Chain A
Amino acid sequence: MRRILLMGNPNVGKSVVFSRLTGIRVISSNYPGTTVEFTQGEMALEADKALLIDVPGVYGLETSCKAEEIAVKMIEDADAIINVVDATNLERSLHLTRHLLEKHVPMVVAFNMWDEARHQGIHINLEKIEGILGVPVVPTIAVTGEGIRELVKRLTDAPVPTFAPMSEEQRWTEVGRIVNTVQALTHRHHTFWDLLSDASVRPLMGLPIAAVVLVLSFTMIRLIGEGLVHLAFQPLFEALWKPLLLRLDGHMHPGGFWHQLLIGTLVNGQIDFVQSFGMLTTGLFVAVTMVFPYVLAFYLILGLLEDFGYLPRLAVLLDTLMHRMGLHGWAIIPMLLGFGCNVPGILATRMLESPRERWIAATLVSIAVPCASLQAMMWGVLGHHGARYVAGVFAILLLVWIVLGWVLNALLKGASPELIIEIPPYRLPSPRAIAYKLWTRIRQYFKEAVPFVLLGVLIVNVLDYVQVFDRMASVIAPVVTYLFGLPKEAVLALVLGFLRKDVAVGMLASLNLTPKQMIISVTLLAISFPCIATFIVLARELGLPGLLKSISVMILVSLLTGVAMNLIL
């Protein structure tokens, strides 16, 4: 099969072009570096199939970083290259293009974001540029799919370029000359977006804007999440699923193993969705009704912030704070992703430069960033006592995050690297792109999280049946009761947190804890062992020594925080 490389600078829309060509969904956002490892897929080329490889974004082929080295290696066995260029930023994009032409591989160039270039008053003479580059140039708007078909058509007879290699200085001069010949700029007044763009990176205006954006985002997530739970998911669950369960219940013997496993314990002779703890009752209820609406709301808001282009500005504003924690501003992105699910959060730490930074960031995500499932359950079990209890848990976690980051930075050798990032222009998110991304993430939730929830409930029931929990509880109970002031039943929930945080909080709900005990146990669940999925990713990203270090820190922080909360609250 022919191998075709998709190459370009970061944040020019390669991932969108990739999904257009292959039909494979990949997450793209309005900030550089969303594609941290390369993806490949099949695309139709004439009657044949070809292998399309989405190479991580690079600025050049000078092999000054890992991504560039990989890119250069891949070119060696490529049959053709699709070079994606940001039409709004020709000079920088063409430097890579010119360098690629020296590799003598058949190539087409997509001038992407063509609509935005026109909108910004950038006029590019296509005939001239095609003449100079000697390979086909196709204007594209990847988010809507415009120009993609033409791109494929012209790929089939793409010529082999014959440019001689030149030095880097010469290349920059050459590119400057090309840009001057083919591009004309019409003067443009500063728009509202420019003013907003400048204001949101200046601390005086930017910090208040950031506060408003974050508070608004969390409020929206809560409102949308809660609204969906009460107006849609819960009534639907009661109306559609409950009758089926009741029929099943009628056919089964209460108290038997299968009844216990699927339906659970009846409360006053009735199925209780929160407390029965069967796979088909509490398991599904937690996964679909209590957690999913918040996951949906979170990813909708995150998607909007990502595509609007706000996150790099937040990174700029928080840079000074993050430096105190051994990181730089960019590390806020893994943290924010961690609020949805810790797994993508930890994966995103790859965009940070040094191993030291990656370890600190991954450890902070797994200890102090509660995922959407856990947050949803927090509202479920603490919300009715009052929003201030939930706010309390968030405040404690924030404190742990800052203090731990500061301590780790002070203890670990090495300095935090400098921030150098490009800030993309604000863009109005395209509803299609947002829906696409949301759909991808929802599918991931159903594919990867929901089975674990059901498995969690299954394991609880089996362990309960063979009475392992009682023995386990009596061993750990002294720690939990003396140090944290929790009843010994809470041990089960804390241990279960290793599997799924939401299932664990579900168990806490049936224990009649006081609000104080509830706050302590929910916070400990957030801090202590990551769920199994996070654990696996941590192990993969940090390696065994890194994982062990991270886990030791986690145990220490859990003990200290638990004791401190028990004494102070």
Chain B
Amino acid sequence: MSLNQAEDGQALLVVDIEGGPHIRQRLKTLGIRPGVTIVKISGRAGWGPVVVRHGRSQTALGNGVSRRILVAIT
């Protein structure tokens, strides 16, 4: 499933990132890459981007980006 479909509060494993090298690069430098576990904090309300926590940092991802991040429930 893609990140925007996951429930708030769920711990998720990043499986793959679809899209060009630019966006993969950008996400990777922020610490989001396949194999990393993230927790979705917000984004199900239909207003605003998806916010995830990974390690000790938090990142906000616009809806177009979050659709391209494929995750699995851990």
Contacts and interface: CB of A to CB of B under 8 A. Distances in A.
Interface string B50-74: 0100011111111111000000000
Nearest to A422: B59
Contacts of A317: 48
> Contact size class for B?
20 to 34
Given A89-B55, A316-B51, A319-B62, A420 B29 contact: no
Q: Is the interface of B mostly helix, strand, loop or mixed?
A: mixed
A326 interface: no
Contacts of B28: 168, 172
A423 B30 CA distance: 11
Contact of B29 (A88, A95, A417): A95
B57 A422 contact: yes
Contacts of B61: 418-420
B57 A328 contact: no
Given A64-B22, A88-B56, A204-B45, A328 B29 contact: no
Pick from B60, B61, B63 the residue with the most CB of A within 10 Å.
B60
A92 B49 contact: no
Given A319-B62, A328-B62, A422-B58, A92 B33 contact: no
A201 B60 contact: yes
A331 B56 CA distance: 25
Contacts of B49: 316, 319-320, 329, 419
A92 B48 CA distance: 26
Contact of B60 (A59, A91, A120, A420): A420
B65 A420 contact: yes
Q: Which among A172, A315, A423 has the greatest number of chain B C-beta atoms within 10 A?
A: A423
A64 B60 contact: no
Nearest to A323: B62
Interface string A322-338: 01000011000000000
Contacts of A64: 21-22, 25-26
B62 A419 contact: yes
Given A64-B22, A422-B58, 16 more contacts: A120-B56, A122-B56, A201-B60, A202-B45, A316-B51, A316-B60, A319-B49, A319-B62, A329-B49, A418-B61, A419-B65, A420-B30, A422-B59, A422-B60, A423-B51, A423-B60
Interface of B: 8, 21-22, 25-31, 33, 41-42, 45, 47-49, 51, 55-65
Top 6 nearest A-B pairs by Cβ distance? A59-B29, A418-B62, A419-B62, A423-B58, A203-B47, A202-B42
10 contacts: A59-B29, A64-B22, A89-B56, A201-B48, A202-B51, A317-B48, A418-B62, A420-B30, A421-B60, A423-B58
Interface of A: 59-60, 62, 64, 88-89, 91-92, 95, 120, 122, 168, 172, 197-198, 201-204, 206-207, 312, 315-317, 319-320, 323, 328-329, 417-423, 425
